[in-house]
């Protein structure tokens, strides 16, 4: 929907600016997974943002976007991993 795309683009612009101002890198997950929403159940992608991770590392939950679930989140994990690789290779 064009209106929602415009809203998301504005939010992305704000998040990119804040990330850049703080010396961080922004990973635009919605750019590639906007059609995967919380309503998609097991196929959801970005819609699961607030869910707790089932994986732990040193007693702390690993952010859900850093690993795949059975279906949807492997899309985000690939984008995040690519950004991490780019940052480490600078």
- State pLDDT tens for residues 5-17: 788 788 888 988 9
Q: Is residue 74 a contact partner of residue 68, using CB atoms and an 8 Å limit?
A: yes
pTM for the whole structure: 0.49
Indicate whether 69 belongs to any domain.
yes
What is the total count of domains within the chain? Answer: 1
* Radius of gyration of the CA atoms of the chain, in A: 14
Q: Identify the domain containing residue 65 by its residue range.
A: 25-88
pLDDT tens digits for 27-58? 877 766 555 555 555 555 554 555 566 677 78
Q: Is the dihedral of CA 43, 46, 50, 53 positive or negative?
A: positive
With respect to residue 7, please indicate whether it lies within any of the assigned structural domains.
no
Domain assignment present for 2: no
- Residue 19 located in a structural domain: no
Q: Which two tokens stand for residue 66?
A: 């850093």
**pLDDT of res. 69:** 57
């Amino acid at each position: 929907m064009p209106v929602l795309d415009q809203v998301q683009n504005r939010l992305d612009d704000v998040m990119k600016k804040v990330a850049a101002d703080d010396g961080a890198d922004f990973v635009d997950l919605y750019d590639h997974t906007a059609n995967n929403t919380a309503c998609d159940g097991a196929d959801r992608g970005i819609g699961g943002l607030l869910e707790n991770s089932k994986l732990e590392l040193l007693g702390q939950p690993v952010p859900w976007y850093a690993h795949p679930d059975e279906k949807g989140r492997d899309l985000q994990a690939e984008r995040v991993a690519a950004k991490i690789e780019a940052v480490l290779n600078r």
